[in-house]
Amino acid sequence: MVWLSSGNPMPSRSGPIDPGSLCHFNIPARRTILTWQRRYSAGGIDALLPRPQVRRPMKKPPKLG
């Protein structure tokens, strides 16, 4: 990912993803970049912020006895 002088973290051109960049930034899958691009296009820089993770409460085990 290249930071442009305008402060925009996404490149101005779209094209194939460079495997060397994936390795350099330790990104395991091309799908990650494609997801980031889609989210950025849909909602701007705020769409890239981490989403709160919600967990379901654990079920209590049945009482034995």
Please state the separation of Cα 64 from the chain's center in Å. 44
User: Residues of the chain whose pLDDT is less than 70?
Assistant: 1-15, 65
What pLDDT does 4 receive? 42
What pLDDT does 2 receive? 46
Backbone angles phi, psi at 20, to 5 degrees: -65, -35
| Distance set, CA 16 to CA 13, 19, 31, 35 (Å) | 10, 9, 12, 14
pTM above 0.75, yes or no: no
Closest CA to 36 of 28, 26, 45: 45
What pLDDT does 53 receive? 84
| Distance set, CA 43 to CA 3, 36, 53 (Å) | 18, 11, 19
What pLDDT does 3 receive? 44
